Structure 1
């Protein structure tokens, strides 16, 4: 979008927050870059230039605006709506792969050479993988500086910097303030020292594009919560996290203009990854206006969208975990699926301490489940086979589900496993892989909703009708499911 100068100028002049994260405005006279909705007086048109990423702005020598804080914008919705190489690379960079494995590791995951990856990212984003990762390190450093009492040396290494010098230089270059000045300004601005009073806990706000309807989003997560791994407590969805350097607990609460997030991490190096996974879980980088405008073109869907706009797709923090849970949930009630999953957690999950609530375990990873005894599962024999085959494929790497997955290839590999039909494959594509066009025309709730609204009720006819909803059919599913008075569609009390 950054190449459409006229459209970008209109967005900046109207301070349109819908475009935050889509592009960034760099001001040639001040050498500052802003989000489109910056509250400052818009610069003259001849002094504006536009970039597709904060990293590109920084690489061109611009520093972040101190008023609108463009580094805290929602992420571009493009990376969650696409499955091409650039989109998959951006999702992996957001999950910290470059910091952990370097650019060669990123390229290997995507099946390309480092030169090919660098060329594609530079062409579309104006910055290569190292610059993009550096911008994320700067943002992580800012969060740690402003919300914790960690010594600056610990902040530097937790944010992924290789040295104190590079940390200091980057913070000064990006924010035009020293790390100490950033911390002082933050304490004066908010007077909020919650992160300091609670050692090991980081409190922050997760931005999103309005509108956001929390009902089905948090309702679904709370109603399907696996005891010990997830819970709804005091107005927050809480769950355990398995992270590259340790364990964590996330607490997420809906607010009118943000999601309140509290993270308890055993290793602060996991902060950026934990934030990224929480945003992915809640689908916070979606563009609800684009989605809802498309769905409103169907006169039968329009009343549902108008009644409760901004529905998101509840996702997962771990694709392999969700695949296992999808199999456990085949042809059983929500309560039964939770019971089956809880038994797996008790028998094979890794214990975790939670001083604030009732979380007890990490969900077992495929390696921990690879040796489970099928006879110990209170499931039909055919479903035992489905589960053990899935776990084996995940454990030996023949099936890879994650942010780097090619959606069509993942579907094909899932269909090749015994017991995987369209419903299971599509619900995994929707909630684990994040395909915004995943569709479940054979789902019982979908068929009931379709019949009530006068939509075609048979899977084939409904699929044909839903062609007009593409590429947002996964969101249409949320609107149709929400017509049923089921706990998954209501924000818990």
Structure 2
């Protein structure tokens, strides 16, 4: 769906206040100078006063400020960036992970293997904004979160959010939100959630429906002691981040995921949120996925019974790849990770990075894994080919890594024993042939069959 080409669909979504389109596009109103999500409950403009933008950055560049009621900057991300494997999608995943703030546009281009000009041209053409503007919009959102959820001095917030100066921070916040940083903080004091000192209490939005029970059961079942734990209905784990470490606690609620983050360095906030959303697959479009899978009479009752299943991913692709390859042997590596303190629970270590694992375990396979880019901006085709060429990694392991680490929504292996057993019980004898009808959502089909 190319939302910027279908104005009639925009208008229908806005009139219906359809939350499914939040994050797909943004609607601005020329008479108010405000941009909103499609589901905004206080917006009722005439059609001729509506303007539609494919990104928050494009709306901001056009001179519109974010609605204070619907908070469009906090919408779920567009599902396109997780479904697609082209240059724009890979770039957007990397921008969300903070690469532009840490390495600049030249660093983004180097990671993608394209020139800066090519990156800028393609993002501008599809999103109405270049990588710097998109990163600026993310910095503004990070700043708002720090202003509203922490007592950190505003001068420190500016640099933690990635701004080069306090003046730029003040100007951007005022331009994007129509309030100064001090005014934003004053408004937030009336509604701020309580949290332990040094911990930020956030809400991660998602598109309905969400089978939270299935998602969190899988995470709890796979939890690696000392790195992850399931405690009092909450999934907790340690995070290795660009500037330090963190601990996250994630708990499902009917309309959002309660997220409590403790960070060693506040500059990692945006990256930590992105990785938690990626872990829980919160930017998926479950309506589109389930609609196609329901078209198969075999899957229809499974989807109807528990709609909105997600594919649990990972907060660290290298960690997942090592765990997928080593299996239960990965538990013995935890002691080689960086020790951390967790006053609220039983987390004791970060999982060691792949270089440390290679040094401790040795062997050509782990050393070869360390040379493959499996991150969220990786080339799925190239990564699959490199994994498949490694001795000792079978097709099932490759597809598992593609599904959980790379995030390919069509990753699938007919050799998965759990999926095969369920398929046989449903009368599916030729799973490889039958699964073609589930494309490009075979990873989600696998979750309904396991």
Shared fold by TM > 0.5?
yes
2:415 corresponds to which residue?
442
Which runs of no fewer than 5 residues in structure 2 stay unpaired?
none
Secondary structure of 1:253 counterpart: strand
Aligned to 2:47: 45
How far is the alpha carbon of 1:308 from its aligned partner? 0.5
Which deviations, in whole Å up to 9, do the C-alpha atoms of 1:360-403 show, x marking residues without a partner? 100011111122255xxxxxxxxxxxxx32321243x3x11111
Equivalent residue number for residue 391 of structure 1:
366
In 2, Cα distance between equivalents of 1:245 and 1:41: 40
Match of 1:61 in 2: 63
User: What is the match of residue 295 of structure 2?
Assistant: 297
- Are residues 442 and 118 of structure 1, via their aligned partners in 2, closer, same or farther at CA, if it must alter by over 3 Å? same
Q: Out of 399, 420, 424, which is 1:426 matched to? A: 399
Q: 1:261 to 1:373 in 2, by over 3 A?
A: closer
Q: Deviations over 1:30-78 (max 9, x none)?
A: 1110000000142101111100000000001000011111001000000
CA positional deviation for 1:20: 0.1
Q: What residue in structure 1 maps to residue 447 of structure 2? A: 478
Q: Is the 8 A contact 1:56 1:127 kept in 2?
A: yes
CA distance in 2, matches of 1:16, 1:278: 25
- Equivalent residues in 2 for 1:305-324, closer than 5 Å: 305-324=303-322
Q: Are residues 1:468 and 2:437 paired?
A: yes
1:491 alignment partner in structure 2? none
Aligned length: 448
Higher relative contact order (CA 8 A, sep 6+): 1
Q: 1:41 to 1:365 in 2, by over 3 A?
A: closer
Separation of aligned partners in 2, 1:453 and 1:154: 58
Alpha-carbon distance in structure 2 between the residues aligned to 1:470 and 1:216 = 22
Of stretches 38-47 and 8-17 in structure 1, the one that deviates more from structure 2 is 38-47
The answer to whether the 8 A contact 2:55-2:127 is kept is yes
The DSSP-based 3-state class of the residue aligned with 1:350 is coil
Q: Which residue of the partner structure matches residue 344 of structure 1?
A: 333
- After superposition, give the CA deviation of every residue in 1:215-261 in whole Å (9 maximum; x if it has no partner): 22111111111111000011110000000000000100000000000
Q: Report the Cα offset of residue 319 of structure 1.
A: 0.5
2:82 to 60, 80, 83: 80
> Counterpart of 2:212?
214
What's the CA shift for 1:349? 1.2
Match of residue 272 from structure 1: 270
- 2:36 maps to 34
Partner residue of 2:181? Answer: 179
Q: Which residue of structure 2 aligns with residue 100 of structure 1?
A: 102
CA distance in 1, matches of 2:5, 2:32: 21
Bigger Cα displacement from structure 2, 212-221 vs 113-122:
212-221
Q: Deviations over 1:242-297 (max 9, x none)?
A: 00000000100000000000000000000000000000000000000000000000
Whether the 8 Å CA contact 1:200–1:266 is kept in 2: the answer is no
1:377 alignment counterpart: none
Post-superposition offset of 1:408: 1.1
Matched residue, 2:119? 117
Partner of 1:240 in structure 2? 238
Distance 1:171 1:371 in 2: 46
* Alpha-carbon contact 1:94-1:136 (below 8 Å) kept: yes
Deviation at 1:420, TM superposition (A): 1.0
Query: 1:193 Cα deviation (Å)?
Result: 4.7
Contact 1:216 1:478 in 2 (8 A): no
Rounded to whole Å, the distance in 2 between the matches of 1:122 and 1:298 is 38
What CA distance in whole angstroms lies between the structure 2 residues aligned with 1:183 and 1:216?
37
Shift, 1:341, TM fit = 2.0
- Equivalent residue for 2:260? 262
The equivalent position to 2:388 in structure 1, one of 403, 407, 415, is 415
Deviations 1:63-114 (A, max 9, x none): 0011111001000000000010000000000000000000000000000110
- Report what 1:358 is aligned to: 346
Match of 1:332 in 2: none
Q: Which residue of 2 aligns with 1:334?
A: none
Separation of aligned partners in 2, 1:295 and 1:238: 31
> Which residue is equivalent to 1:129?
131
2:194 equivalent to 1:194: yes
Q: Which SS does the other structure have where 2:259 is aligned?
A: strand
2:91–2:377 contact (8 Å) kept in structure 1: yes
Q: TM-score, normalised by structure 1?
A: 0.90
Task: Decide whether the 8 Å contact of 2:193 with 2:201 is kept in 1.
Answer: no
Q: Which secondary structure state, in structure 2, belongs to the residue aligned with residue 361 of structure 1?
A: coil
Is contact 1:441-1:447 (8 Å) kept?
Answer: yes
Aligned mates of 2:358, 2:109 — CA distance in 1: 29
Q: Retained in 2: the 8 A contact 1:402–1:432?
A: yes
